[in-house]
Structure 1
């Protein structure tokens, strides 16, 4: 008996068709992450809390194409056209999941959002220049100002109510500083508040702080050849005014010198003479005790 190849082919085709119907209709559940984008939010409102960046969606569909869904980039568009100030409950709707009809959305996690919405307000406040602590030690900063000196803030009304002024980011004064500083500095504002403009130009003058110091200095004598000279007193007391940064230096006393130069032809005897005081530039002699000394030349 010869095999009938036509019946064999028909049997194979029917078996293949039955296999396709069986496996093709089999469905599987797949979790995937969908990005959330909000749209249609009314102007003048601010979402204080409750917003999420993505949701997890359980999708049921044919086994053969389930993996293709996992690799796709899907976005859930969340309409916020009906939100109002206060607490708002937004429910995720399976109908808004952008999938072909062959798929079924089984579950969305989270299923809803609790949005805390506030009225957005606008307020104009003055700008105050802030210095980094210790940045101008030994110096005086004057005339610090910002241009513009006021900025417009936009943010939640409850937040703006408590803001009376805006500070700049701390300005660092170099050491030694220039006589004048001008630079563009950003404003220090809360994360949920926008400032217009976001930065201001800061200018200020820097001068050294004045201070006084009293010290004792030995009297240096220039003695003529062949003469012995004695000074009374041989140590003088000096009161000096100058920049605090210079006067506070530990080496400053060694930079101050009291000296007296005698004429080469001075005759023996007793004299009263004034002395000279040498000190760093920018310093001023306020008082010298005594202002004259007695010299005995032998």
Structure 2
């Protein structure tokens, strides 16, 4: 500051001894301003300072993504007039990196001392780190099916029928290196313990943080179908009976069939005999005397599922003679 005062004093004495022109005031004012600015830039005390400069990525192509973690701020050591350095807090300088011409792969960007636009008068001494490495990956879209995982068992006598996931697939956009090899996502275990009827449950997907960040919603709905447990039974020699008795004598050949059926668990150990609930029948309405091949029809409660009948067709031989009073309908004489 003393230098500035001396210069102003010398200038004042010179002006006093000189013959002044008409516009001396404006000239003098301009000179004072020039001296002030010169002093502000070169005469102010210089200081060293460490500042943090954010990295700004610009013009990244829409089909690319930075897939690695990188340092998003630079530690920069600068020197310059105290006033200029203090004013940086209002200017917010950044390290702008243009990736408009980048392609998938590794990109290394060097941080030169002139890569950050500081005001004139500030000199960059050091930048840490000196380089930034970016792993650029292609963005792809995939539809991934959802597979379920279960734990526990329903109430005895019941079993899992099926699980339906809504939605059955999820669409995600992400780095090819992350989702390129994936074809499905899996749920966290769905607990079936103690269930005896169908229900809906909200289920989360078993994914890592990277995949989770790509999902709009990591929760799906699982419709759990619980059905009554079934036991497979085989019944031999089930008699074939005539659905509507006729007056004529007849013979059914073969007189019995074999039946394979799936029975609800409640029939096992109950008082009712499932065999007695299954009927093998044929219909001879309107048939004349002679040999006829008829299909065996099975009548059973809706809870019993018939898998197979053997044979499926039987022969009925109807004679012209009427039945004896002691002959039972449905049996060959």
CA distance in 2, matches of 1:191, 1:124: 19
User: How many residues in Structure 1 have an aligned counterpart in Structure 2?
Assistant: 207
Task: Report the CA distance shift for 1:41/1:191 in structure 2 as closer, same or farther (over 3 A).
Answer: farther
Query: Is 1:155–1:192's contact at 8 Å kept on the other side of the alignment?
Result: no
What secondary structure sits across from 1:37 in the alignment?
A: strand
User: What is the TM-score with the length of structure 2 in the denominator?
Assistant: 0.49
What secondary structure sits across from 1:41 in the alignment?
A: coil
Work out which of the residue numbers 274, 279, 285 in structure 1 matches 2:269: 285
Work out which of the residue numbers 168, 183, 203 in structure 1 matches 2:223: 203
CA distance in 2, matches of 1:12, 1:112: 43
CA distance in 1, matches of 2:269, 2:155: 24
Task: Report the CA distance shift for 1:102/1:164 in structure 2 as closer, same or farther (over 3 A).
Answer: same
Shift of 1:65: 4.9
CA distance in 1, matches of 2:177, 2:54: 30
Work out which of the residue numbers 92, 95, 103 in structure 1 matches 2:122: 103
Task: Report the CA distance shift for 1:11/1:160 in structure 2 as closer, same or farther (over 3 A).
Answer: closer
Equivalent residue number for residue 153 of structure 1: 172
Query: Is 2:155–2:196's contact at 8 Å kept on the other side of the alignment?
Result: no
5 Å-filtered alignment, 1:139-150, equals: 140-150=159-169
Task: Report the CA distance shift for 1:209/1:104 in structure 2 as closer, same or farther (over 3 A).
Answer: farther
CA distance in 1, matches of 2:132, 2:221: 43
5 Å-filtered alignment, 1:34-45, equals: 34-45=53-64
Shift of 1:27: 1.5
Structure 2 alignment gaps of length 5 or more: 10-35, 232-263, 272-333
What secondary structure sits across from 2:67 in the alignment?
A: strand
What secondary structure sits across from 2:177 in the alignment?
A: helix
Equivalent residue number for residue 89 of structure 1: 108
Equivalent residue number for residue 119 of structure 1: 138
Shift of 1:166: 1.0
Shift of 1:189: 3.6
Work out which of the residue numbers 186, 199, 203 in structure 2 matches 1:185: 203
Structure 1 alignment gaps of length 5 or more: 1-9, 212-241, 244-281, 288-298
Query: Is 1:129–1:145's contact at 8 Å kept on the other side of the alignment?
Result: no
Shift of 1:13: 4.2
Shift of 1:49: 2.0
Task: Report the CA distance shift for 1:12/1:118 in structure 2 as closer, same or farther (over 3 A).
Answer: closer
Query: Is 2:84–2:119's contact at 8 Å kept on the other side of the alignment?
Result: no
Shift of 1:69: 3.8
Equivalent residue number for residue 59 of structure 1: 78
Query: Is 1:50–1:114's contact at 8 Å kept on the other side of the alignment?
Result: no
Shift of 1:107: 2.1
Task: Report the CA distance shift for 1:73/1:11 in structure 2 as closer, same or farther (over 3 A).
Answer: closer
What secondary structure sits across from 2:179 in the alignment?
A: helix
Largest Rg, 1 or 2: 2
Question: RMSD value over aligned CA atoms?
Answer: 4.1
Task: Report the CA distance shift for 1:14/1:185 in structure 2 as closer, same or farther (over 3 A).
Answer: same
What secondary structure sits across from 1:188 in the alignment?
A: coil
User: What is the TM-score with the length of structure 1 in the denominator?
Assistant: 0.54
Query: Is 2:78–2:122's contact at 8 Å kept on the other side of the alignment?
Result: yes
Equivalent residue number for residue 129 of structure 1: 148
